[in-house]
Chains A and B, each alone.
Chain A
């Protein structure tokens, strides 16, 4: 419970920070919104300023900022033709979640399998090759990996398409969960589903290749440490075969430190989408951030910062809960 209130507190802190940032960003927001008209019609600009409380004291502005936030009003987005930011986020976030899902699954699978293998055969050739592999992965900037994948798989091998989240010529599914991939599956709209999977795989792979390394590293050292523990000796003394000892007793304990990596992985993923979506022309929230940055769309940038923070804080909370589930000493001790 304490963790929950802590999370709320952190979010409040983030809100305050984004508010402060929004007011220290250079430039008059009205100018950003109205563009050139602001200069030509000063009276109109002033009217806007009064309407949006820009002449009011800071704490009044903060009050309106919070109330707007709670109503879901995040302002209008100049880079998207002045439609409400919340609408943009509503359109783009689910698509990014599709990528995030696959990326997390890939990262977990790659990280766990390679971590276990390199622990089991530690210091032999396969261990060293895995190490070189993941080192290259986590050292490469995510945009490098994305471009590499794009060049090899899309341009050269023509295996996966790029641009948009799914073939725009196919019929889109009806919004049930608001996540197109999921909706198409529910409706058994397989052409759309397959197409969206095709479009999602490369971006997810780019993200996964950049992050799975931390899991391998931690899992490997955790497994090596665990296999020297006394209870492993006891398990062997009971007559259990090596596989049972290794997986049921060893891995189960070694996994615990890996859970603490969850929030780190999520953070890397979310920031990664900014680059990856741009390179693959995938219309998710990452691409929105990128475009908002280029167009100096301050409402967009701030709102997405807030969204990212909310996602990270929730996942950290979920990771803490998962940690308690996995380690009984935390739960009960």
Chain B
């Protein structure tokens, strides 16, 4: 197991051009994702975590959004220097992504089996170039789209021929995500299935391409609590089975704590703390993380009022010069207003961006 992280993000800055000005969404962020880890990026709405996720897979809508600076090193290649065609080569088979609302994220007019088949076909057609190179797959893509993609697999004869090869593959994929009656589900349309089922299918579809990294943007937010737990458990188990790293984006600390190995806390476009899950919960260093953890209701009927962090998130169109949390921080010092705190390492693998712990 090499020490080289799978994905290494350095100094990433992303902004949005809006009618009312330029909005700083991600500010000089540094993040490393290792192989076979489960990392959770936690933060409130608008802190930039979704933007970060979309930039990893390269699906930011670049008219309003713009990557201002940074390096995103994946398997020795800086993804940010690639053009769209090259970038596309990494989508799916190297870095995959699943989204928040499984109903609208699946195409309503195609059967679930066909949609997974499409993913498998992408993988198969790219195989020739090998998993580690995977850079220019133009030729592969062309063959794929003219050949297999358009065949309506509902036509019995063709279906028998084409998807028979894939059918087993798809059933295996469905079984991987613990769907019992895979044979039935394969012919269903997304709207015929439950929310939890749909999210499993999204996971199956993503993993069918055997990516090295799976980015999950709030995958369980739209699900009820029980299903949420099931899906999270599934993701954790799968990570070990298929050796895919998972980057989970969530606003829910509890969710993150259940499954993640590492937790990264984001606030207003900055990463404020990056630690092992046990370390973070036993000893949160950043005042924001401390505040967040204190906010989690304990579940017992004690007489205390619910705690909240006073103040509001700063306006990202006009971000403060110093630490963005300064106006709400109970331990704020003068230096916090003057310059932004860098992300420093305190103990082994515990990083924090706060002047309380040095410069």
Contact = CB atoms under 8 A, between A and B. Distances in A.
A327 B96 CA distance: 28
A253 B107 contact: yes
Interface in A44-58: none
Interface of chain A, helix or strand or loop or mixed? Answer: helix
Contacts of B236: none
A239 B106 contact: no
Interface string B19-44: 00000000000000000000000000
B167 to A, nearest CB: 19
A243 B85 CA distance: 12
Nearest to A245: B145
Given A239-B122, A244-B145, A234 B91 contact: no
B209 A252 contact: no
Interface string B77-116: 0000000000011111100111101001111111000000
A237 B109 CA distance: 18
Interface string A234-272: 111111110110001100110010000000000000000
A70 interface: no
Contact of A237 (B96, B101, B104): B96
A332 B149 contact: no
A333 interface: yes
Interface stretch (A143-151, A182-190, A225-233): A225-233
Size class of the contact patch on chain A? 20 to 34
B108 A238 contact: no
Given A231-B107, A243-B145, A328 B189 contact: yes
B57 A237 contact: yes
Contact of A252 (B109, B144, B145, B206): B109
How many chain B residues sit at the interface, stated as a range, is: 35 or more
A240 B107 CA distance: 14
B103 to A, nearest CB: 8
Contacts of A332: 189, 192
A125 interface: no
Interface string B223-253: 0000000000000000000000000000000
Contacts, number: 89
A238 B145 contact: no
Given A231-B104, A248-B149, A328-B189, A239 B109 contact: no
A71 interface: no
B106 A234 contact: yes
A243 B142 CA distance: 9
Interface in B123-167: 126, 137, 141-142, 144-145, 149-150
Nearest to A239: B92
B171 interface: no
Given A233-B59, A248-B150, A328-B108, A240 B122 contact: yes
Contacts of A239: 88-93, 122, 126, 137, 209
Given A230-B99, A234-B105, A333 B145 contact: no
Nearest to A244: B145
Contact of B191 (A237, A238, A329): A329
A233 B59 CA distance: 8
B150 A231 contact: no
Contacts of B96: 237-238
Contacts of B57: 237
B88 A241 contact: yes
B205 interface: yes
Nearest to A234: B105
Contacts of B93: 239
A231 B192 contact: no
B91 A327 contact: no
A92 to B, nearest CB: 39
Contact of A238 (B91, B110, B150): B91
A230 B105 contact: yes
A240 B109 contact: no
A229 to B, nearest CB: 7
Interface string A305-332: 0000000000000000000001111001
A258 B260 CA distance: 47
Given A237-B96, A238-B119, A329-B189, A244 B104 contact: no
30 contacts: A230-B105, A231-B104, A231-B106, A234-B105, A234-B107, A236-B59, A237-B59, A237-B96, A237-B98, A237-B99, A238-B92, A238-B96, A239-B88, A239-B91, A239-B93, A239-B122, A239-B126, A239-B209, A241-B88, A241-B141, A241-B142, A241-B144, A241-B145, A244-B144, A248-B149, A253-B107, A328-B189, A329-B108, A332-B192, A333-B191
Interface of B: 57, 59, 88-93, 96-99, 101, 104-110, 118-119, 122, 126, 137, 141-142, 144-145, 149-150, 189, 191-192, 202, 205-206, 209
Given A238-B205, A240-B122, A329-B189, 7 more contacts: A233-B105, A234-B202, A236-B88, A237-B92, A238-B118, A241-B142, A249-B107
